[in-house]
Amino acid sequence: EDLTNILLTAKSEKELVKKLKVLCLQKGWYNVKNNLEYIKGLISIYKEKRKESPEWK
């Protein structure tokens, strides 16, 4: 899966984090600290887009 599909299809924050971690490993992005910051940033953006969803509160 690519990043766009992950962001569009994730049904919960937990699912999003899991898929993003897998993507980071597949891409060879092994720097854990940078990956966590990257993932947190994506989650923050995604939460703003899906505010109405109870799963994201």
pLDDT, average across residues 16-44: 79
State the pTM of this model: 0.56
Whether the Cβ atoms of residue 47 and residue 56 lie closer than 8 Å to each other: yes
Q: According to the model, what pLDDT value does residue 55 have?
A: 60
Q: From CA 21, how far away is CA 40, in angstroms rounded?
A: 11
pLDDT band at 42 (very low <50, low <70, confident <90, very high): confident
Ranges of each domain in the chain: 19-50
Predicted pLDDT of residue 54: 61
6-20 pLDDT, tens per residue?
877 888 888 888 888
